[in-house]
Amino acid sequence: MKLLHTADWHIGRTLNGYSLLDEQENAFEQILNIAKAEQVDGIVIAGDIYDRAIPSTNAVTALDKMLKTINLDNHIPIYAISGNHDGAKRLNFGNEWMEESDLYLNTLLSEAFTPIETPEAQIFMLPFFDPMDARVYYQQQGMDEEDVKNIRGIGEAMNLVISDMVKLFDPNKKHLLITHFTVAPSAEEELELTSETTSKVGGLATLTVNTFNDFDYVMLGHIHTRFASPSEDIRYPGSPVKFNVKEAKIKAHGKGVDIVEITDNQITHTFKEITPKTDLHVLSETWETLTDPKFYKAQPIKKDWFAITVKDFDRSKHVNVRAKMQEIYGTVVELDYENIKRDQEIATSQANLSELSPDTIVDQFFKTITGKDLSDDQKQLVDSIFVDLGKED
C-alpha cells in the first residue's frame, strides 16, 4: 500500500495582502502528478485544508475543484481531517455521501473511532480537537462526571482517545494515524521550528512521541517543515507552499510531500519536492548593495517575490524607498529597515531611562525618530512644558 502524505494547504492564505491561490493551485498540480507517477492508493491531507474557519468563495471553489480532480476524475481515495484553522462543522458538510467515492473527511472527534479498513491497514483519522471537545464527547458516552472533569489538558484527552482507538485494533493489520498536533520527541525537547503562526509552533500544546507508541506510523499536520518530524515513523510532510518570510529564510527545508509505503515488514517514507511557481527570496543588504546592478541583476528580478531588509539605513537620505525597490525587483511583499547603531542607541537609552531627566528623554526620543538633535527653540519649548506640568503637580 502506498499513500501520499501532505498537510497544511491553507487554501485562501495571503502573504502580506498578496494572494497565494495561484501558488497553491500550482502546488496542487504537482501533488497530483506525483500521486499519479507513484501510483498511490490514496492521498492523505492532515489538516488545515483552509486557512480560516469561514473561507472565501474563491478558496471554496479552488478546493472543490482540487478534490474533484483527485477523487472523481482520477479515482484516487482521499483521507482528510480538519486542523486548527478549519471550521470543523462547515467542513463536515456532505462527508457521508463523499465516502461513497472514497473521499473520507473527518472533522469531529466522534468520527475518529471508525477506522478506514484496507486489506493492509487500519487508518484512524483524528481531527484537531481541544480538551472541551473531549469532555463533551466522553460525557455523551456516559463517562462519570468526575472523570470528565479530570480531562483538563490535551495530554489527558489524547491518552483517553488513543486508548479507545487501540481497543479497535485488528492485530493482523498495520495501524496508521492521521492527526494535526504539535508532537515533540520528549517533554524536555520543546520544538522551536517555524509553523504557520509563530516561531514556537503555532500555539498548540505539545504532545510527545510516547503518546503514539501503539501506532505503526503517524501522519501529522500543523508544522510547516518536515524537519520538525519527531521520529522516523511520526512525520510532518511540511506545507506545499512558503507562507511567510520565516519559512523562506530556511531554504534547505524545501517544500513537498511524503510518499509512505506500507509493506508486511516495514513502513518507509520518501520526500518528493515541489517547485514553487513564484519563489519568495529574502534579501538583507545595504541600500548601496541593493541598488547596485551587479547585485540585483544576479537576482530573479521581476519574476519571483522579495522580502527585503535595508541594512544600516538612514531614512533622511532616501524617499519613496518601496517604489524604488519595486522598480528594481518587481513584487516586494515585505520591506523592513535595520540600523544597528540606532537599535543599540535605543536599547541603551531604554536601559538607562530611569536615570534620565524628562527633557533628556524627549531629546533622545526626537533624535531616534528624526536623526537630529532638538533645536534651541525646541529645547526651550520642552523645558517650559515640563515647568508648567511641575506647577500643576
Per-residue model confidence (pLDDT) at position 200: 42
Q: Both 305 and 325 in a single domain? A: yes
Per-residue model confidence (pLDDT) at position 202: 41
Per-residue model confidence (pLDDT) at position 342: 55
Q: What is the pTM of this model?
A: 0.80
Per-residue model confidence (pLDDT) at position 352: 57
Per-residue model confidence (pLDDT) at position 76: 95
Q: Both 211 and 333 in a single domain? A: no
Domain assignment of residue 368, given as a range:
350-392
Q: Is residue 345 part of a domain?
A: no
Q: Both 265 and 286 in a single domain? A: no
Per-residue model confidence (pLDDT) at position 272: 95
Q: Both 267 and 291 in a single domain? A: no
In single-letter form, the type of residue at position 314 comes to: D
Q: How many domains does the chain have?
A: 3
Per-residue model confidence (pLDDT) at position 365: 79
> Parallel, antiparallel, or unpaired: how do β-strands 174-180 and 182-184 relate?
unpaired
Per-residue model confidence (pLDDT) at position 198: 41
Per-residue model confidence (pLDDT) at position 250: 72
Q: Is residue 343 part of a domain?
A: no
Percent of the chain scored above 90 by pLDDT? 58
Nearest residue to 226 (alpha-carbon basis) of 199, 255, 205, 202: 255
Q: Both 148 and 188 in a single domain? A: yes
Alpha carbon distance 311, 287 (integer Å): 7
Using 50 as the pLDDT threshold, list the residues of the chain that sit under it.
194-203, 393
Pick the last residue of a domain from 237, 255, 273. 273
Alpha carbon distance 278, 242 (integer Å): 10
Per residue in 156-206, pLDDT (tens digit) is 899 999 999 999 999 999 999 999 999 988 766 655 554 444 434 444 567
Per-residue model confidence (pLDDT) at position 364: 78
Q: Both 98 and 156 in a single domain? A: yes
Strands (E), the chain: 2-6, 14-15, 18-19, 42-46, 78-81, 103-106, 116-117, 121-125, 174-180, 182-184, 206-208, 217-221, 234-235, 256-262, 267-273, 280-286, 305-311, 332-338
Hey, what's the cell of 7?
498537510
Q: Both 6 and 95 in a single domain? A: yes
